[in-house]
Amino acid sequence: MSIVEVENLSLNYQSIKDETSAINNVNFKIEQQEFVSIVGPSGCGKTTILSLIAGLIKPTTGKVVVANKKPSPKENLCGYMFQRDNLLPWRNIEKNIFLGLEIKKQLTKEKKEYAIKLAEKYGIKDFLKKYPNELSGGMRQRVALIRTLALKPELLLLDEPFSALDYQTRLNLCDDIFNIIKGENKTAILVTHDIQEAISMSDKIIVLTKRPAEIKSVHNLDFDKTLTPFERRNSSKAKKLFSTIWQEIQDEKSKI
């Protein structure tokens, strides 16, 4: 049973002057605990697809099903992680982690303990009483992930979560986040413009055409499960795949 089913998904943006087709007839399925990346030329509608899956915007035609339900932010189906950590500077780390629970009015002892346990497990224990401005960028993004996981979402939606970080932090955090997601047996969709990043983390990569986005190709990756994202990056298999996907996106860009 697939956890995410996207069927004939299309979206048109409306404005006074014009109607633009952003996404055109996209179909895919994602299995439980799969890690899927979506790449494509910039501005092709990658983030829009995530917003549709999260139920933040409604499709023009077609449908999205997550865990047999119609996605809505009211339910704990999807956890969304943004480019920026969006930690609230006036709350300490612990209170930031509890934000989702607070909004959903699920601030029970049991759920709080679960969130704290996650924080402890992934190295944030010593920072719980600190404020976001006292943490490094990588650490902050890790807190943002814990905040998302505290709600036990069925599916994680990662919208370029590493792009605001410096290169060194990015590679480290990539490994960390990958471990956390695999350790918690979560299904995840990653949107990124970084092909290497997609290759280093995913089981499957979906390449989109330029706007209006359609699926150009799907690559199934069969790396050794014991490899870390960092080790994957340096394998010859990754390099070969990189040039294939690079060429696909390049072809799209040169299309008129």
Partner 1 sequence: MKNQKFSKAHYDYLKKHRTIKALVLITQIAMLVVFLLGWELLSKHEIISSFFFSSPSRIAKTIGELYKSGELFYHTKITLNETLIGFAIATGVGFLVAYVLWYSNFLRRVSEPYLVVLNSLPKIALGPIIIIWFGAGDKAIIFMCILIVIIVTILNTLNSFTSCDNQLISLGRSLGASKNQIFFKLVLPHSLKDIISTLKVNVGLSFIGSIMGEMLVSKAGLGYLLTYGKQVANMHLVMTATVILCVLAALMYFAVALFEKIMKKHLK
Residues that bind partner 1 (CB under 8 A): 54, 56, 72-75, 78-80, 82-84, 86, 88, 90, 99-100, 102-104, 131, 151
Minimum CB separation of residue 228 from partner 1 in Å reads 29
Q: Return d(Cα 164, Cα 173) in angstroms, integer.
A: 12
Q: Is 210 helix (H, G, I), strand (E, B) or coil?
A: coil
Within a 10 A sphere around the Cβ of 18, how many other Cβ atoms? 8
Q: Is 63 helix (H, G, I), strand (E, B) or coil?
A: strand
Minimum CB separation of residue 141 from partner 1 in Å reads 13
Residue closer to partner 1, measured from CB, 130 or 193: 130
Minimum CB separation of residue 89 from partner 1 in Å reads 9
Sheet of 2-14: strand order equals: 19-31, 2-14, 61-66
Report yes or no: 193 and 160 within 8 Å, Cβ to Cβ: yes
Residue closer to partner 1, measured from CB, 14 or 236: 14
Residue closer to partner 1, measured from CB, 42 or 72: 72
Burial 93-127, CB ≥16 within 10 A → b, else e: bbebbbbbbeeeebeeeebbebbbebbeebebeeb
- In single-letter form, the type of residue at position 195 comes to I
Residue closer to partner 1, measured from CB, 2 or 92: 92
Minimum CB separation of residue 151 from partner 1 in Å reads 8
Residue closer to partner 1, measured from CB, 88 or 218: 88
Minimum CB separation of residue 86 from partner 1 in Å reads 5
Minimum CB separation of residue 149 from partner 1 in Å reads 13
5: which residues sit within 8 A by CB, 6+ positions away?
29, 64, 65
Residue closer to partner 1, measured from CB, 82 or 242: 82
